[in-house]
Amino acid sequence: MAIPETGQAAHRQASMISTFATMFLAVAVILGAGIFADLGTRDAARRNHRAETLSRLDTHAVAIGGALRAETRDLRELGFAFVGPTAAGDLATEDFAAVAKPLVDGPNAVRGVAVTRAGGSSFVHPDTPEMAALLRVPDDAPRDRAGTRMAEVGGRRMLVLWLPLREPLAEGATRVLGLAAGAVDFTALLADAGLPSLQLDLAITGVAGEPGDQAIPVSRTGRNVLAADPVTVPLTLLDQNWTLAAVPAAGWTSGGAVVWPIWLLTLVATLLNVGLVLRARHLNDERQRNIDALRDRETQLDRLSRRLGLALDASKVGVWDYHIDKGTLVWDDRMDELYALPADGRTRTYHDWSGALHPDDLARAEAEFDEAINVTGRYNSDYRLLLPDRTVRHIRAIGAVYREADGTSKIVGVNWDVTADVRRSSELEAKRREAEAASVAKSQFLATMSHEIRTPMNGVIGMLDLLLRTDLDPTQLDRARVASTSARQLLSLLNDVLDFSKLEANRVTLDRTDTDVAALARDVVALMSATAEERQIRLNVRVAPRVPRYLVCDPMRLRQVLINLVGNAVKFTEVGSVEVELDHVAGETPSLEVAVRDSGVGITEEAKANLFQRFAQVDSSSTRQRGGTGLGLAISKQLVELMGGEISVQSTPGLGSTFRFGIPAEIGAAPPEASDKPATGLCAETAGARPSRILVAEDNATNQQVLAAYLALEGHVAHIVGGGAEAVAEAQSGVFDLVLMDIQMPGMDGITAARRIRALDGPVSRIPIIALTANAMAGDKETYFAAGMTDYVAKPVSAAELSAAIARVIAPSQFTPPPRPVPGGAKLSLAVGGRRMGAPRSPS
């Protein structure tokens, strides 16, 4: 059915109206959304702008307070200089001006200062009526509280502040000595704090209900800051609460008008809204991160401060710093305790430090302090303090010089009390001296015991030796041999004790020479062969082909170690053999390797632990069958280590033991005399001895008989005296070829007698002198040689050793028969204490 034309027109009109309505509604919705988004964006921008402004203002408000505190500190120090306990009463205005001028004219914000004493007198600088009026404290202002007010002078805002000058009294009380006032250029103060760079208009207003509630505009544009919806932060000026308000110099962010097309408006508004929201979120997150970082840093600083405080309290360390350019000294409460000064809050000076120093340490401590400042930059000193109660305290001080940002120099350091350490050091030093004295006493005791024991041992061994040379029946001969063996064992024990004592006292020195180590080992084996034969065990030496003939080592100490090890091996071996093995290892550090192997009883693991300890015994039971002091292995270990080597043992109980040691030994050269005469033993050394006229100085009657008999067996003529003085008198006759001189004798000792003989005139001063002594400590031999003696024989003296010593100092070609008469005796006769000992045998 067709629609009438009039109906179609109405339908088109209704459709158009509907379309326009729909479009309008869509446009309205879109425009509303855009406007809503724009308004939201504008609001977010304003909040963000305010947050940024507040953050910057909050950061720099701290700088304002810091700058003002610096001015307040300088003002307080100036005030105390004129009203404090140490201020002179007759100071004039000129004196005040001279002191205040550097403060007012310096690079700070102070433009004028005034000091008023409690009595009413006052000083002002600059001394002008305008400044005096500006710095005048209001009559209604309390004199015991700090205060501020704002004024305008010459178009500049001036902050007038005043503060009471308090003097500490007893029990925490104080009294007001006067007031110090100052005029601070507030605009300059803000410039010093860095606020102009913020592009902000500022105003300061007091907190409602408190002093200073008037608004103080400091705006450069002259706008009413408080009416422009400012951001605010609290500000403390002296002891009063203020509020610092600020708005941006360009005003708050307002945004633009909605003029975009619908589609662009929608897109841009959406993007802008999202972007601004994200930006705002980013800024808020960043601000929160900054706040969290500052909070964490404050927490860390607080923690570090507490730790440092605890450390300083626990260690009782005082901290100080000295301003080199200004000459000011600052230190903490611990320093007051160390220097016994009252904690009165008074500023310390250099004289507080130097005045407490001990007079004996003052010059040195000041010189070290000056050297640290002017030369080294490092301060390290120990000195004493003389406290008011006359006690002495020892202080250790360290410090370092550094330069601040303004170019001035400071030295910062710490002090702590080391009195206890010094006392402990003194006690240790006293104990060390006591120990050294005990060591000297021990050495003297050992020397005395050595002499006292060796002197009778010389007689015992000598008489037994002479007895064995006579015709004895088998029973007598066996008993004499047993007695001689026992005496020599006793002497060996004595030697072990003395050797160990010398090693303990570090008095053993090494004499490294070119040594035929193979020959030395064979000599040791030959020495022990008699005992090995008695026990029916084999004793052998094996020398590796690569062992050089001569090695550089100490032959005497090497021999001693071998004798101890081979002797122990023979002693603890019942059946089998003992072998000595020598080897040489080349390389960067050549070494001689020695092994002493036996098939004896072996050593248990428990015994190995203490084997090389002194007085340790492998067989320590009460029924042990083998003797010994237990020092042999301990001495061997110390001697090997002294020669730079190590010693060890491997053993199996019942199968035997192997002792090994190695010592550094470089390849040596043949000694000069090695190619001239073969090492044929003691007989070759004594073959050149000739009958001689010998003066014997010996105070022991038994030893006189032993020496007389030994000399008679060699065909010598002996004249015996009992002291050093008699020996010097007899030697002057010039008829003797040799002097045998005992060391310890009553009256004049042997050393003094030797020196007297060397001081005689003529050929008699060059007569050979052989020392006979029971002293066996380190250094004795050198002492005898220094006194002019020619050779040295230790007691107990054997016939072979005495004959060898005589052969060394008297050559056969010196003998010119017939002999001259001997004082106190007949030709070629032996005079002992006035008794005739018989004629000697004829020289061969």
What pLDDT was estimated at residue 205?
A: 73
pLDDT over threshold 90, residue 684: no
Tell me the DSSP string of 141-156.
S-TTS-EEEEEEETTE
pLDDT over threshold 70, residue 839: no
Residue 221 identity: T
What pLDDT was estimated at residue 677?
A: 40
> From the CB of residue 621, how many other CB atoms can be counted at a distance below 10 Å?
7
Between CA 412 and CA 330 the distance in angstroms is: 10
Q: Please give the residue that has the higher pLDDT: either 837 or 289.
A: 289
Q: What is the mean pLDDT of residues 655-680?
A: 73
Between CA 596 and CA 561 the distance in angstroms is: 11
pLDDT over threshold 80, residue 732: yes
What pLDDT was estimated at residue 832?
A: 35
pLDDT in tens, 556-608: 888 888 988 998 888 888 888 999 999 999 888 899 999 999 988 888 877 77
> Which domains can be identified in the chain, with CATH numbers?
19-248 (no CATH), 316-417 (3.30.450.20), 509-673 (3.30.565.10), 686-836 (3.40.50.2300)
Four-CA torsion 282, 285, 286, 287, nearest 10 degrees: 120
Coil vs helix vs strand at 555 = helix
Tell me the DSSP string of 653-666.
TTTEEEEEEEEE--
Q: What is the mean pLDDT of residues 21-25?
A: 54
Q: Is 172 left (phi over 0), alpha (psi -120 to 50) or beta?
A: left
pLDDT over threshold 60, residue 294: yes
pLDDT over threshold 60, residue 675: no
What pLDDT was estimated at residue 784?
A: 86
What pLDDT was estimated at residue 15?
A: 52
What pLDDT was estimated at residue 544?
A: 93
**C-beta separation of 792 from 784 below 8 A:** yes
pLDDT over threshold 90, residue 738: yes
Q: Name, in order, each residue with C-beta under 8 angstroms of 79's C-beta and a sequence gap of 6 or more.
A: 115, 163, 165, 178, 179, 180
Paired strand residues for 396: 382, 416
DSSP 197: G
Closest C-alpha to 199, from 47, 71, 49: 49
Q: Cα–Cα–Cα angle for 672, 674, 676, nearest 5°?
A: 85
Q: What is the mean pLDDT of residues 366-381?
A: 90
What pLDDT was estimated at residue 140?
A: 78
What pLDDT was estimated at residue 331?
A: 87
Closest C-alpha to 91, from 59, 123, 66: 123
Q: Please give the residue that has the higher pLDDT: either 745 or 282.
A: 745
Query: Considering Cα of 345, then 350, then 351, then 357, what sign does the dihedral take?
Result: positive
Return the minimum-mean-pLDDT range out of 263-277, 657-671, 721-735.
Answer: 263-277
**C-beta separation of 158 from 136 below 8 A:** no
Spacing of C-alpha 567 from chain mean position: 47
Side by side, the strands of the sheet bearing 200-206 are 215-217, 200-206, 240-248, 231-237
Q: Please give the residue that has the higher pLDDT: either 146 or 626.
A: 146
What pLDDT was estimated at residue 736?
A: 92
What pLDDT was estimated at residue 564?
A: 85
Q: At 223, is the pLDDT very low, low, confident or very high (cuts 50, 70, 90)?
A: low
**C-beta separation of 162 from 179 below 8 A:** yes
Return the minimum-mean-pLDDT range out of 217-226, 321-330, 595-604, 624-633.
Answer: 624-633
Would you give the end-to-end CA distance of the chain in angstroms? 182
pLDDT in tens, 191-201: 776 666 667 77
Return the minimum-mean-pLDDT range out of 7-21, 53-67, 92-106, 321-335.
Answer: 7-21
Largest pairwise CA distance in the chain: 192
**C-beta separation of 151 from 158 below 8 A:** yes
Q: At 721, is the pLDDT very low, low, confident or very high (cuts 50, 70, 90)?
A: very high
Q: What is the mean pLDDT of residues 350-374?
A: 90
What pLDDT was estimated at residue 725?
A: 92
pLDDT over threshold 70, residue 446: no
| Locus of tokens 């080391």 | 418
pLDDT over threshold 60, residue 373: yes
What pLDDT was estimated at residue 678?
A: 37
What pLDDT was estimated at residue 528?
A: 81
What pLDDT was estimated at residue 449?
A: 66
Between CA 178 and CA 659 the distance in angstroms is: 94
pLDDT in tens, 37-71: 666 666 777 777 788 888 777 777 777 777 777 77
Q: At what angle do helices 474-504 and 632-642 cross, to 10 degrees?
A: 40
- Global confidence as pTM: 0.38
Closest C-alpha to 460, from 439, 488, 441: 488
Mean pLDDT over each residue of the chain, to the nearest integer: 76
Q: At 844, is the pLDDT very low, low, confident or very high (cuts 50, 70, 90)?
A: very low
What pLDDT was estimated at residue 460?
A: 77
Q: What is the mean pLDDT of residues 721-734?
A: 90
> From the CB of residue 357, how many other CB atoms can be counted at a distance below 10 Å?
19
Q: At 254, is the pLDDT very low, low, confident or very high (cuts 50, 70, 90)?
A: low
pLDDT over threshold 70, residue 484: yes
Q: Name, in order, each residue with C-beta under 8 angstroms of 356's C-beta and a sequence gap of 6 or more.
A: 339, 340, 341, 385, 386, 387
pLDDT over threshold 50, residue 767: yes
Between CA 134 and CA 184 the distance in angstroms is: 11
pLDDT in tens, 611-625: 776 545 555 443 344
Q: Please give the residue that has the higher pLDDT: either 448 or 691.
A: 691
**C-beta separation of 500 from 614 below 8 A:** yes
Q: Please give the residue that has the higher pLDDT: either 819 or 115.
A: 115
Highest mean pLDDT among 232-236, 339-343, 529-533, 663-667: 663-667
Return the minimum-mean-pLDDT range out of 222-236, 326-340, 688-702.
Answer: 222-236
Between CA 243 and CA 228 the distance in angstroms is: 15
Tell me the DSSP string of 153-178.
ETTEEEEEEEEEEEEE-GGG-EEEEE
Q: At what angle do helices 555-571 and 632-642 cross, to 10 degrees?
A: 150
Paired strand residues for 147: 162
Return the minimum-mean-pLDDT range out of 14-28, 305-319, 496-510.
Answer: 14-28
φ and ψ at 151, to 5 degrees?
A: -140, 165
Helix residue ranges per DSSP H, 700-829: 701-713, 724-731, 750-758, 780-786, 799-809
Q: Is 780 left (phi over 0), alpha (psi -120 to 50) or beta?
A: alpha
What pLDDT was estimated at residue 621?
A: 45
| Locus of tokens 């030496």 | 541
pLDDT over threshold 80, residue 789: yes
What pLDDT was estimated at residue 283?
A: 78
| Locus of tokens 């902000």 | 200
Q: Name, in order, each residue with C-beta under 8 angstroms of 500's C-beta and a sequence gap of 6 or more.
A: 614, 631, 634, 635, 638
What pLDDT was estimated at residue 211?
A: 44
Q: What is the mean pLDDT of residues 765-770?
A: 92
Side by side, the strands of the sheet bearing 317-323 are 328-331, 317-323, 409-417, 392-403, 378-386
pLDDT above 90 covers what percent of the chain?
13
Between CA 499 and CA 516 the distance in angstroms is: 24
What pLDDT was estimated at residue 106?
A: 78
Q: Please give the residue that has the higher pLDDT: either 571 or 833.
A: 571
pLDDT in tens, 397-416: 999 988 887 778 889 999 98
Return the minimum-mean-pLDDT range out of 240-244, 267-271, 341-345, 736-740.
Answer: 267-271
CA gyration radius, the chain: 54
Between CA 536 and CA 573 the distance in angstroms is: 10
What pLDDT was estimated at residue 571?
A: 86
pLDDT over threshold 90, residue 275: no
